[in-house]
Amino acid sequence: MNIALLFPGQGSQTVGMGKALYEAHPQVHRLFTVAEEVTGLPLRELMFEGPAEALQRTSVTQPALYLHGYAVAQVQGFAPAAAAGHSLGEFTALAVAGVFSFEEGLHLVQVRAQAMQEACDARPSTMAAIIGLSDEAVEKLCQEVSEGIVVPANYNSPGQVVVSGETAAVEAVMAQAKTAGARLVKKLAVNGAFHSPLMEPARQKLAEAIQKASFRAPRCPVYPNVTAQAEQDPEKLRELLIQQLTAPVRWTQTLQAMWADGLRTFYELGPGNVLTGLVKRTLPEAQTATYDH
């Protein structure tokens, strides 16, 4: 069976994540121990017990999601025909595909999370979901705003785009989107402008770490967020991972490309079912399943 594995990004975290996995599978205990040693974070405590505010900090959320998704993949032992991850999830997809080791990926995720946290703290910025307008309509709204930097950050599913940028500019787009007839306009519970030019300082720090890492050819094609096309060249995967922080996540296009390439079954690995919902909206005929342990 041609299975595509999907790994979630920030927003899927929840208190209690990974607990059933940890209790059911003693073989993942080592991964949790390694993750705590590499990050210096009490991940078991934060993931299993919270509090939610601590788990929502970018510097905690990203290692937690990476650890959870990778551990589920190891336990389930799927042999996927392809893999992709939403934003942070791309790191999990690359690790599961064997592009870099669990430990190497964890180090990159930690560098990314800390650099993003610093970029968030340095400048008031936010993100907002706009539902019910076309991609082109949202792009036009962003271009017309004069209050500052705002760009489309996530193309999540047809009619669902997330914008990202300086707070005043995002709020201006939100107001215009309501006027333009958007069905729902909602500010996200994030503390920064991910996948926008405001992440450039973080991208530079992450680029240094990625350039030093050892990248190998993946065991299956990986669909990077930047191009939304199947890729197997390790050097291209490296370059696209560096570009990812300031470029939009083309998730709608990724799913459509996977479908065009013959993939019909999509398994989401990690907490929640956000990506499964996006698959159902984008590819109504696809087979889906979610695995959190």
- CA 224 to chain CA centroid, nearest Å: 11
**pTM passes above 0.95:** yes
At residue 273, does pLDDT exceed 90? yes
At residue 190, does pLDDT exceed 90? no
Residue pointed to by tokens 């669902």:
160
Task: Please tell me the distance from the alpha carbon of residue 128 to that of residue 154, in angstroms, as a whole number.
Answer: 10
Which pair of structure tokens corresponds to residue 21? 């996995």
Q: What share of the chain is helix, strand, coil (3-state, %, to 5)?
A: 50, 15, 30
Q: What average pLDDT score do residues 168-174 get?
A: 97
Q: What average pLDDT score do residues 273-287 get?
A: 98
Q: What average pLDDT score do residues 280-289 get?
A: 98
Instruction: For the chain, give the percent of residues with pLDDT over 70.
Output: 100
Please return the burial class of 275, using the count of CB atoms within 10 Å of its CB with bins 0-12, 13-18 and 19+.
buried
* Span 117-169, pLDDT tens digits: 999 888 889 999 999 999 999 999 999 999 999 999 999 999 999 999 999 99
Residue pointed to by tokens 């970018």:
58
CATH of domain 3-121+197-291: 3.40.366.10
Task: Please tell me the distance from the alpha carbon of residue 189 to that of residue 151, in angstroms, as a whole number.
Answer: 18
Residue pointed to by tokens 């551990």:
71
Which pair of structure tokens corresponds to residue 39? 């990050």
* Span 43-57, pLDDT tens digits: 999 999 999 999 998
pLDDT given at position 123: 87
Cβ atoms of 288 and 266 within 8 Å: the answer is yes
Give the confidence band of 199 by pLDDT, cuts at 50, 70, 90. very high
Give the confidence band of 275 by pLDDT, cuts at 50, 70, 90. very high
Which pair of structure tokens corresponds to residue 291? 């695995």
At residue 191, does pLDDT exceed 80? no
pLDDT given at position 189: 76
Cα 146 to Cα 17, 166, 168, 169, 290: the distances in Å are 41, 11, 10, 7, 42
Instruction: Report helix angle 29-39 to 102-122, nearest 10.
Output: 40
At residue 258, does pLDDT exceed 80? yes
At residue 90, does pLDDT exceed 80? yes
At residue 272, does pLDDT exceed 80? yes
At residue 1, does pLDDT exceed 80? no
Mean pLDDT across the chain:
97
Kindly list the domain boundaries of the chain, sorted by start residue: 3-121+197-291, 124-187
Cα 125 to Cα 47, 187, 269: the distances in Å are 26, 11, 30
Fold of 124-187: Alpha-Beta Plaits (3.30.70)
Q: What average pLDDT score do residues 208-229 get?
A: 98
* Span 232-253, pLDDT tens digits: 999 999 999 999 999 999 999 9
pLDDT given at position 233: 98
Question: What amino acid positions are annotated as catalytic residues?
Answer: 87, 195
Q: What average pLDDT score do residues 253-260 get?
A: 98
